[in-house]
Amino acid sequence: MRSADSLLDQYASDHQNASNQWIHLICVPAILWSVTALLWCIPVPTSYFNPGTWCGLAMFAAFSYYWQLSKNLAIGSLLCFVAIGFLNRWIMDHYGLRLLLQLGISVFIVAWIGQFIGHKIEGKRPSFFTDLVYLLIGPMWTLDKLYRRIGIGR
């Protein structure tokens, strides 16, 4: 398995333009939230499971992958996942699954348009065109930028 440093450094090398970086700092978390919202809305097979089961399983899988790469970034991602879970649950409880689904689809589309605009500005293809693992590295890169800003290491 490649190291967190090599994956994050490669991802960063594909995102050198300041405008593209800002777009990614907005759109990557938006895409992450929208994917969790869409997963939250997938029906579960029995009444023993709650809405959000698929979302929780996906978050656990991502957290497990991040844990193998970097304990510090995995802990930060876990905190983000918990906050996202509470947000999804709040939206569902107050406005229903239908609105959560509509918001998830809308944010997903708009944020991906933003991502592709950023890559057009950058003049490079998105990293995940090379390797799909970079779909998981994008959120980690965003968190790493926050960590660096506040003085926390990987």
Could you tell me the residue ranges of all domains in the chain? Answer: 4-9+18-40+51-147
pLDDT for 44 equals 85
For the chain, the C-alpha Rg in angstroms (whole number) is 16
Please count the CA atoms within 13 angstroms of the CA of 78 that sit on its side-chain side.
Answer: 12
Please count the CA atoms within 13 angstroms of the CA of 94 that sit on its side-chain side.
Answer: 6
51 or 154, greater pLDDT: 51
CB 134 within 8 A of CB 127: yes
> What average pLDDT does range 18-25 have in this prediction?
96
What's the pLDDT tens digit per position in 35-48?
999 999 999 887 77
- Measured between alpha carbons, how far is 69 from 74 in angstroms, rounded to an integer? 8
Going by pLDDT thresholds of 50, 70 and 90, the confidence category of residue 141 is very high
Give the phi and the psi of residue 51 in degrees, each rounded to 5. -55, 145
pLDDT for 49 equals 77
Going by pLDDT thresholds of 50, 70 and 90, the confidence category of residue 135 is very high
- Measured between alpha carbons, how far is 27 from 135 in angstroms, rounded to an integer? 12
- Measured between alpha carbons, how far is 73 from 92 in angstroms, rounded to an integer? 28
Task: Report which of 29, 48, 25, 49 is spatially closest to residue 37, judged by C-alpha positions.
Answer: 29
Going by pLDDT thresholds of 50, 70 and 90, the confidence category of residue 130 is confident
What's the pLDDT tens digit per position in 84-126?
999 999 999 999 999 999 999 999 999 999 999 999 999 999 9
Query: Which residues are CB-contacts of 145 (< 8 A; sequence separation ≥ 6)?
Result: 21, 25
pLDDT for 147 equals 94
What's the pLDDT tens digit per position in 45-92?
877 778 899 999 999 999 999 999 999 999 999 999 999 999 999 999
